[in-house]
């Protein structure tokens, strides 16, 4: 059964670790998963990622950031995500369109309605079935980032105020659309967060399986 799940949140929430752990747990339970990320996920997207996250283009405009992330996403949906869903896989994607709304919208101040329309255009209207918000405060996120050994990227040089706007956008979006979003306390231990995330996913898979059965009966 296919399901499109996105992992979102501020920096240092441990999404990348969790996505690998969750995929493994789902595979152990007999599901077929595909793990991917944004910006990236295709050869084109990974090239765009280098431009977006590297330090060679400091003069990049917010609009350019939004367009590049959306171009990467467009290619990603067509080449990777849509075919995997069609093949019945559970797609786990590390960041997706909500990151553009949070970072380029709330963070950089671009118009949200325009960005939503751009997402519609880039994805052909493919919104996630479920979005897990790995919520963590700025201080905890920064401390984790410092010890993670991951290379710094261009967004690490943004101010605390920028990152606070991103976080509060995610929390507001989750509150507005509770069916799609689940908020996880990502300041807990990695084992606890994995447990919480897996529980949410298994519940949703159960509901979807129930809905399919009901459809087949009617
Ligand atoms: P990454 O190293 O993947 O960060 P993280 O581990 O926190 O997910 O870098 C992705 C960065 O790109 C992150 O700072 C968020 C940013 N981003 C945007 O600004 N807009 C977008 O649409 C996406 C997908 C990411």
How confident is residue 212, by pLDDT bands cut at 50, 70 and 90? confident
Q: What is the pLDDT of residue 217?
A: 79
On the question of pLDDT at 218 being above 80, the answer is no
- Ligand 1: atom nearest CA of 150 is 2
Pocket test for ligand 1, best of 74, 95, 147 (most atoms within 8 A of CB): 95
- Contact, 61 vs 109, CB < 8 A? no
How many domains does the structure of the chain reveal?
1
Distance from Cα 155 to the centre of ligand 1, integer Å: 8
The boundaries of the domain holding residue 17 are 3-217
Distance from Cα 94 to the centre of ligand 1, integer Å: 9
* Reduced 3-state DSSP string for 6-43: EEECCCCCCHHHHHHHHHHHHHHCCCCEEEEECCCCCH
In the chain, % helix, strand, coil (3-state, to 5) comes to: 60, 10, 25
183-193: pLDDT as tens digits: 999 999 999 99
Query: Residue 90 in 3-state DSSP?
Result: strand
pTM of the model: 0.97
Distance from Cα 96 to the centre of ligand 1, integer Å: 9
Q: d(Cα 35, Cα 102) in Å, to the nearest integer?
A: 22
Tokens for 183, please give them: 């908020």
Q: What is the pLDDT of residue 49?
A: 98
- Contact, 153 vs 53, CB < 8 A? yes
How confident is residue 52, by pLDDT bands cut at 50, 70 and 90? very high
How confident is residue 97, by pLDDT bands cut at 50, 70 and 90? very high
59-82: pLDDT as tens digits: 999 999 999 999 999 999 999 999
Pocket of ligand 1 (CB under 6 A): 11, 15-16, 38-39, 53, 69, 95, 99-100, 103-104, 153, 155
Higher per-residue pLDDT: 99 or 217: 99
Q: What CATH number corresponds to the domain at position 43?
A: 3.40.50.300
- Contact, 179 vs 128, CB < 8 A? no
Those residues with Cβ within 8 angstroms of residue 54's Cβ, 6 or more apart along the chain or in another chain: 153, 154
Q: d(Cα 66, Cα 108) in Å, to the nearest integer?
A: 10
104-161: pLDDT as tens digits: 999 999 999 999 999 999 999 999 999 999 999 999 999 998 888 888 999 999 999 9
């Amino acid at each position: 059964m296919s399901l499109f799940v996105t992992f979102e949140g501020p920096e240092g929430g441990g999404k990348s670790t969790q996505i690998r752990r969750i995929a493994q747990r789902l595979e152990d339970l007999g599901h077929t998963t595909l793990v991917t990320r944004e910006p990236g996920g295709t050869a084109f997207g990974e090239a765009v990622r280098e431009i977006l996250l590297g330090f060679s283009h400091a003069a990049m405009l917010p609009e350019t950031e939004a367009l590049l992330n959306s171009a990467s996403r467009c290619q990603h949906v067509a080449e990777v995500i849509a075919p995997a869903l069609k093949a019945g896989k559970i797609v786990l994607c590390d960041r997706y369109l909500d990151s553009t709304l949070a970072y380029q919208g709330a963070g950089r101040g671009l118009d949200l309605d325009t960005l939503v329309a751009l997402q519609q255009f880039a994805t052909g209207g493919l919104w996630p079935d479920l979005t897990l918000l790995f919520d963590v405060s700025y201080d905890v996120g920064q401390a984790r980032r410092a010890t993670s050994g991951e290379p710094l990227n261009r967004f690490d040089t943004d101010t605390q105020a920028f990152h606070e706007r991103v976080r509060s956008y995610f929390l507001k979006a989750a509150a507005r659309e509770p069916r799609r979003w689940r908020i996880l306390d990502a300041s807990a231990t990695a084992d606890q967060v994995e447990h919480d995330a897996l529980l949410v996913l298994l519940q949703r898979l159960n509901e979807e399986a129930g809905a399919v059965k009901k459809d087949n009966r009617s």
